[in-house]
């Protein structure tokens, strides 16, 4: 098993990416406040260590599937922030030409198979992608991100069982941020660790502190190696906490301020800052410089996206179906005299 030693440079790179995600999300909230976004915005604040620690092990040929809370996954996988902001603001220059919004960003060039507005919707897609990789004898893997709420959907159970019996190269990453909208995970499930569900499918389950970037990076590295070596799927539970509301506009009356404050103290970015300062001897000015550089990049992407135009009404019916399908459908309508 490869020993995953993490260098100072790698930690600084993780820090930069986590700051990039947090800054992107804070800017997305600002855009929502200005009524510039055209669909719900679900932010990833507090969960950054998971996407960054995991995607550091992936290449563009490895796939990920994501959720309605997908901005962090996209950025960690290398998506273009200007195209993301343009999509959030329904501009033609966006990833889906402004017709998909925050919850439907996909980028095949970097192996990002798509965010998904359907809770649990990405899980069977990951299994399909895993089957394609196995069928073509590829060494690449699929990482399937989903929430604790999604782990109570039928798709979760059917997909894990199928991936297990077919020995597919998929790592199922349950981001347990404690809530599904307003429902506490403790109220919807009687087991303490969702990773224990792996036993029911005969696969390995791992429970990880998702707010500790070093632990995420190391444990995922071990899992990825096993899966690349052909040992079949793994279920990883990442314990974390959603620091902002479920979406912009959530009144958060289902959790106490004390609980949120406790988790703010365990913020993954603060945690990494402490390691960088105290263990790696990184001066405060260097951390501030990284924050400023990322802020500049994120705000430039947002400003440029704002200047892009909205799609024209004539474009409304384009890109809805696959061309061949649309063509066949059209012929059927013609035959029916419609």
Ligand X SMILES: Cc1ncc(C[n+]2csc(CCOP(=O)(O)OP(=O)(O)O)c2C)c(N)n1
Contact 185, 178 (CB under 8 A): yes
Helix (H) or strand (E) holding 33: helix 8-33
Helix (H) or strand (E) holding 298: helix 284-307
Cβ proximity to ligand X: between 131 and 247 the closer is 247
> Closest distance between ligand X and the C-beta of residue 173, in Å?
12
From the list 245, 217, 330, the residue with the least C-alpha distance to 41 is: 245
CB-nearest residue to ligand X: 147
> Closest distance between ligand X and the C-beta of residue 260, in Å?
14
Phi, psi for 190 (deg, rounded to 5): -90, -10
Rounded CA-CA distance 255/247 in Å is 15
Cβ proximity to ligand X: between 108 and 181 the closer is 181
In what order do the strands lie in the sheet containing 234-239? 63-65, 142-147, 170-176, 234-239, 204-209
And the tokens for 49? 């260590």
Cβ proximity to ligand X: between 91 and 242 the closer is 242
> Closest distance between ligand X and the C-beta of residue 70, in Å?
9
Rounded CA-CA distance 290/79 in Å is 19
> Closest distance between ligand X and the C-beta of residue 7, in Å?
31
List interacting residues with ligand X (CB under 6 A): 67-69, 117-120, 147-150, 177, 179-181, 242, 246
> Closest distance between ligand X and the C-beta of residue 263, in Å?
14
Cβ proximity to ligand X: between 180 and 234 the closer is 180
Cβ proximity to ligand X: between 69 and 99 the closer is 69
> Closest distance between ligand X and the C-beta of residue 151, in Å?
7
Contact 225, 204 (CB under 8 A): no
Cβ proximity to ligand X: between 216 and 290 the closer is 216
> Closest distance between ligand X and the C-beta of residue 68, in Å?
5
And the tokens for 125? 């897609």
Cβ proximity to ligand X: between 23 and 240 the closer is 240
Rounded CA-CA distance 80/298 in Å is 10
Between the CA of residue 186 and those of 120, 149, 183, what are the distances in Å? 19, 11, 8
């Amino acid at each position: 098993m490869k020993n995953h030693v993490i260098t100072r440079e790698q930690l600084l790179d993780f820090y930069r990416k986590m700051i990039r995600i947090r800054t992107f999300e804070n800017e997305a909230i600002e855009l929502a406040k200005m009524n510039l976004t055209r669909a719900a915005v679900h932010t990833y604040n507090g969960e950054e260590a998971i996407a960054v620690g995991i995607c550091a092990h992936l290449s563009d040929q490895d796939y990920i599937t994501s959720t309605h809370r997908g901005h962090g996954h996209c950025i960690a996988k290398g998506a273009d922030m200007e195209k993301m902001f343009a999509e959030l603001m329904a501009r033609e220059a966006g990833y889906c030409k402004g017709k998909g919004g925050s919850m439907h960003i996909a980028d095949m060039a970097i192996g990002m198979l798509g965010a998904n507005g359907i809770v649990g919707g990405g899980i069977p897609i990951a299994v399909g992608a895993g089957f394609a990789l196995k069928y073509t004898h590829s060494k690449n893997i699929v990482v399937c991100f989903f929430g604790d709420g999604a782990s109570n959907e039928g798709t979760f159970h059917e997909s894990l069982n199928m991936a297990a019996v077919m020995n597919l190269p998929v790592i199922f990453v349950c981001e347990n941020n404690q809530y599904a909208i307003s429902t506490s995970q403790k109220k919807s499930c009687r087991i303490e660790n969702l990773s224990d569900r792996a036993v029911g499918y005969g696969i390995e389950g791992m429970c990880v502190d998702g707010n500790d970037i070093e632990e995420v990076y190391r444990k995922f590295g071990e899992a990825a190696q096993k899966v690349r070596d052909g040992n079949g799927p793994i279920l990883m539970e990442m314990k974390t906490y959603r620091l902002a509301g479920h979406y912009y506009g959530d009144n958060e009356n289902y959790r106490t301020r004390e609980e949120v404050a406790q988790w703010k103290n365990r913020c993954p970015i603060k945690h990494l800052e402490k390691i960088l300062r105290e263990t790696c001897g990184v001066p405060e000015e260097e951390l501030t410089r990284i924050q400023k550089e990322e802020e500049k990049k994120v705000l430039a992407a947002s400003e440029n996206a704002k200047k892009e135009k909205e799609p024209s009404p004539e474009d409304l019916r384009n890109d809805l179906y696959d061309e061949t399908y649309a063509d066949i459908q059209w012929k059927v309508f013609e035959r029916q005299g419609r």
